[in-house]
Amino acid sequence: MDQHCILIVDDDPGIRLLLVTYLRQRGFQLLEAHNGREALAIMRAVPTDLVVMDLAMPEVSGWDVLRERMADASLRRIPVIIMSANNIRDVTARMAVKHVHAVLEKPFDLVALLAAVTTCLENADQSAHAAA
């Protein structure tokens, strides 16, 4: 299996550290951004297989990143998993139009996160093989 590159985007350094450490121990390559502006720059500069992102961030929010991603064909292919402390039903309803793979409620379960990451990357791999 190729090592997938996952971008973790959250303004909380403790959450970023937890996610990066947990996923790195499971064999993934990790990148970090502390806001949406950094996330978009990384997504444009580095081949990224998946973005795991908070919605509520200063400067450029997760919502802003999703809007930019949908407007840019080169970014649209990158799957996204959202983490949110907001009402999960409201967020999930709004995510359908943004092509988001999963929405995880904060505080989140690391096992559920790993399952969502694994499923998302497997689906992306299958789509890439089917297109080839």
pLDDT level of residue 23 (50, 70, 90 thresholds): very high
Each residue's pLDDT tens digit, 79-91? 999 988 765 566 5
Least Cα distance to 69 among 39, 45, 92 occurs for 39
Domain residues for the domain of 125 are 5-131
Least Cα distance to 64 among 73, 54, 74 occurs for 54
Q: Over 80: is that where the pLDDT of 6 sits?
A: yes
User: CA-based Rg of the chain, rounded to a whole angstrom?
Assistant: 14
Structurally, the chain folds into a number of domains equal to 1
Least Cα distance to 43 among 28, 60, 62, 65 occurs for 65
Domain with 28 in it: what CATH number?
Answer: 3.40.50.2300
pTM (two decimals): 0.89
SS3 45: helix
**How many whole angstroms separate alpha carbon 40 and alpha carbon 57?**
13
